[in-house]
Amino acid sequence: MAVSNQRVVILGGGFGGLYTALALSKLPWDKAIKPEITLVDQRDRFLFAPLLYELVTDELQTWEIAPPYAELLAGTGIKFHQSGVSGIDAVANSVCLQDDAVLPYDYLVLALGGETPMDMAPGVKEYAIAFRTLSDAYALKERLRELEASDADQIRVAVVGGGYSGVELVCKLAERLGERGRLRIVERGTAILQNSPEFNQKAAQDALTDKGIWIDYETTVTEIGVDTISLKYKDQVDVLPVDLVLWTVGNQVNPLIASLPFDKNEHQQLKIQPTLQLLNQGHIFALGDLADGQDADGNKVPTTAQAALQQADYTAWNIWAALTGRPPLPFRYQHLGEMMTLGSDTATLTGLGLKLDGTAAHIVRRLTYLYRMPTFEHQLRVGLNWISQPLRELLSAS
């Protein structure tokens, strides 16, 4: 039986939240039962995080990778409320926001994402820069401008973490800093990209070697100072001079989640059913970094952007199903491969039977991300800008 006058509140405007809202607005609603959809985020812009690296090297502009929600949601009927979340009243079915607004809901979607923990060693919070948000990228660019304007012959950079984020970031920094750059990756494991395909690992290792980037394996950070980093290898601690430390390791769910009276795992992630609903809470959905569950085939769902994108479609469908008297669909995760940038015109990717690196992978990566951008209008604007860029560069050089 169809239900009318329902309110859907979606907390978090990242891949999980924004794409759920957009998908929900496009489903075949009868006008009498289409719900009121409200998207809440503390920032005014969506961030297409996989392209954040290109902002550091000025390959892309802010409007391309971080369009305003007002622009993306125009004409969709989705309401946007810019505010942080201060609490959730699971009894009264309402959300309390930091601007003192209270949003009642009939269906709630939790997609608040994760955060980079900056308390893993003394001095991290004070002297290191994370790389997760638009503000992080701006802080990094400002620090780079200061260092580049200095008289120093060398600019010493340590990137903590040898996962995708650390490897992609250090490659971009190596290109930007050129001969002045002295870069190192600090990795506590025995290899970079430890859970990635061997093809990607080798391509990344070759790129790091070509760019002269040092890797400290089996090494942990014990402390960060104003201009030093203390590294522990086996039982020895070395204090090295450093101009910039980037922190790309660790992930923790939004602190608000810990206060909720729902089943959670040891990492404070919410336990969910294959339908993406919380256990014993059929009107609340969770996806992305803060959710812990298996899909319909019993596979653990990774906390990645591509998983959140897929979960968004199922979340939207299952809310639509609940409001139109249909059964929910269990989520089935499809691993579509892994991509990473290794410089301004080179990348690597594996998936769906493909293994590419170099310029070909760079082009496929860009086209794939263009396709995944949230609205057709934004895809069109960005695509036209990318196509016309070589012509503009040619004209400016002549």
CA dist 19 and 315 (Å) reads 10
CATH code, 19: 3.50.50.60
User: What pLDDT does 396 receive?
Assistant: 66
Same domain for 382 and 275, yes or no, is no
In a domain, 310, yes or no: yes
Same domain for 347 and 283, yes or no, is no
Q: Give the contacts of 389 (CB within 8 A, at least 6 positions apart).
A: none
In a domain, 55, yes or no: no
Contact 116, 132 (CB under 8 A): yes
Running along the chain, 398 residues long, what does each successive block of 10 average in pLDDT?
A: 81 97 95 93 97 95 97 97 95 96 97 94 97 97 97 96 96 96 97 92 95 97 97 96 97 89 92 95 95 92 93 97 95 93 93 89 94 96 89 66
User: What pLDDT does 247 receive?
Assistant: 98
Same domain for 242 and 256, yes or no, is no
Q: How many domains, in total, are found in the chain?
A: 3
User: What pLDDT does 258 receive?
Assistant: 86
In a domain, 152, yes or no: yes
Q: Tell me the backbone φ, ψ of residue 176, rounded to 5 degrees.
A: -70, -40
In a domain, 283, yes or no: yes
User: What pLDDT does 4 receive?
Assistant: 63
In a domain, 53, yes or no: no
In a domain, 99, yes or no: yes
User: What pLDDT does 195 receive?
Assistant: 86
- End-to-end CA gap in the chain: 67
User: What pLDDT does 211 receive?
Assistant: 96
Q: Which domain, by its residues, includes 87?
A: 7-42+83-115+252-323
Whole-model pTM: value is 0.94
Domain boundary among the residues 276, 291, 323 is at 323
Same domain for 223 and 318, yes or no, is no
Same domain for 277 and 192, yes or no, is no
Domain boundary among the residues 181, 212, 247 is at 247
- CA-CA-CA-CA torsion sign (353, 367, 306, 254): positive
Same domain for 258 and 110, yes or no, is yes
Q: Give kind and range of the element (H or E) at residue 14.
A: none
Same domain for 257 and 110, yes or no, is yes
User: What pLDDT does 2 receive?
Assistant: 64
Same domain for 133 and 238, yes or no, is yes
Domain boundary among the residues 292, 323, 354 is at 323
In a domain, 59, yes or no: no
Please give the full DSSP string across 341-388, using - where no structure is assigned: E-SSS-EEEEETTEEEEEHHHHHHHHHHHHHHSS-HHHHHHHHHHHHH
